Amino acid sequence: MTDLDTGVPHSARVWNYWLGGTDNFPADRSVGDEFAKLYPDIVVVARSSRAFLKRAVTHLAADEGVRQFLDVGTGIPSAEHTHQVAHAVAPDAQVVYVDNDPLVLAHAHTVLTGEAVYIDADLRDPDTVIASSGLDLSRPVALILMNVLGHIPDLHEAAAIAHTLMAALPSGSYLITADGTNVLDGAAFTEAIDVWNANAPLSYHLRHPDELARFTAGLEVLEPGLVPCARWRPAPDARADELRETDEYGAVARKP
C-alpha cells in the first residue's frame, strides 16, 4: 500500500475537507482555507456538487431501475458517496470506482469493506476503464464523471473521453456529470484556480456551460437540463442556502 505523505497537500484530501470530511490533514486544510479566501464559495460548490450527485444517483436507482454505477475519477470515499446513496435505495446495486491516484487507492482500500469495487485505471484510457470495470454491459450503467473532465486541458479530448465511455455502454445507460464553470463569479473562481494550477501537479480548467454541454452531445438530457447543481431537481423542502446557484453546472443524460 502507498505511504500517505500527510505533510504535503493533496487535491483529493482538500476536496474532502471542503465537503466536511475527516480524511484530510493540516496541510490540506491550510491550502483549502487559502483557496477559500480567494473564492469563498468553493465550500458551497463542493457541497452543492455532492448534493447533486446524491439526488441524481437516487433518481436513477429509485425511478429508473439502474443497478450498475461506474464512478470515474471519484476521489476519496466520504459521506454520502455513490455506493452509500445507491445502496440506500437498492442494496443490490453494483458500484465500481475508478481512479489512478495511489493516494486515493490507498484510502479506498482502508475505508471500503466490500461495499464497492475500486479499480486502478486512467480516465484518459477509457477503453481500459470499461474493460476493467467487470460490469455487465448488457444492462444499463450509470457513468459518473464528476469534476474530472475539468482536469483534461483540451476540451476536444475531454468530450472524446466522455463519448468513448458512453459509446461502450448499452442503450438505457446514463451519464451524470458536473464541472466548474466561469459564468456566475468567474473572475474570483478563475483567480483561485490560477493560483491552484501554479502550485498543483494536476491542473483544473473552468469552462462555460456551452462547452460542458458537449459532454452530453447525442444523449437525451433529462429535465431541467444542464443547470447550476443546486437547481437540478431540488427537494421540495430545500432551504434557501441549498438553492443558491454557484459556478458548478451539472446534468443527467440518457443514452437512447
In a domain, 4, yes or no: no
Judging by beta carbons within 10 Å of its beta carbon (0-12, 13-18, 19+), is residue 220 exposed, middle or buried?
A: exposed
**What are the E-state strand segments in the chain?**
68-72, 94-99, 117-120, 142-146, 174-180, 220-221, 227-228, 248-254
pLDDT band, very low/low/confident/very high, at 253 (cuts 50, 70, 90): very high
Residue 117 maps to a domain: yes
Helix (H) or strand (E) holding 87: helix 82-89
Average pLDDT over residues 140-147: 97
- DSSP for 125-166, written as a single string: -HHHHHHHH---TTS--EEEEES-GGGSS-HHHHHHHHHHHH
* Cβ pair 175, 166 in contact under 8 A: yes
pLDDT (0 to 100) of residue 76? 75
Average pLDDT over residues 148-162: 97
Q: Could you give the number of structural domains in the chain? A: 1
Rounded mean pLDDT of 159-168? Answer: 98
Binned at pLDDT 50, 70 and 90, residue 112 comes out as low
Confidence at 110, pLDDT banded by 50, 70, 90? low
Domain assignment present for 2: no
Q: Which residues of 161-172 are buried (b: 16+ CB within 10 A; e: fewer)?
A: bbbebbebbeee
CATH code for position 97: 3.40.50.150
Share of the chain above pLDDT 90, in %: 68
Q: What angle do CA 121, 123, 129 make, to 5 degrees?
A: 50
The mean pLDDT of 223-243, rounded to a whole number, is 95
Q: Which residue has the higher pLDDT, 19 or 132?
A: 132
| Structure confidence by residue, pLDDT tens digits, 46-58 | 999 999 999 999 9
C-alpha cell at 45: 460548490
Name the packing angle between helices 42-62 and 26-38 (round to 10°): 100
Please tell me the predicted confidence (pLDDT) of residue 4. Answer: 58
Q: Is 117 helix (H, G, I), strand (E, B) or coil?
A: strand
Provide the angle, in degrees to the nearest 10, between the axes of the packed helices 11-18 and 102-111. Answer: 50
Q: Indicate whether 1 belongs to any domain.
A: no
pLDDT of residue 3: 53
Per-residue pLDDT, 2: 46
Residue 54 lies in a domain: yes
| Residues of the domain holding 33 | 11-254
For residue 8, pLDDT over 60 is answered with: yes
Q: Model's pTM, two decimal places?
A: 0.93
Residue 75's pLDDT is 77
C-alpha cell at 87: 445502496
Please, what is the average pLDDT of the chain? Answer: 91
Q: Look at residue 1 in the predicted model and tell me its pLDDT.
A: 41
Q: Give me the pLDDT at residue 5, please.
A: 65
pLDDT at 15: 83
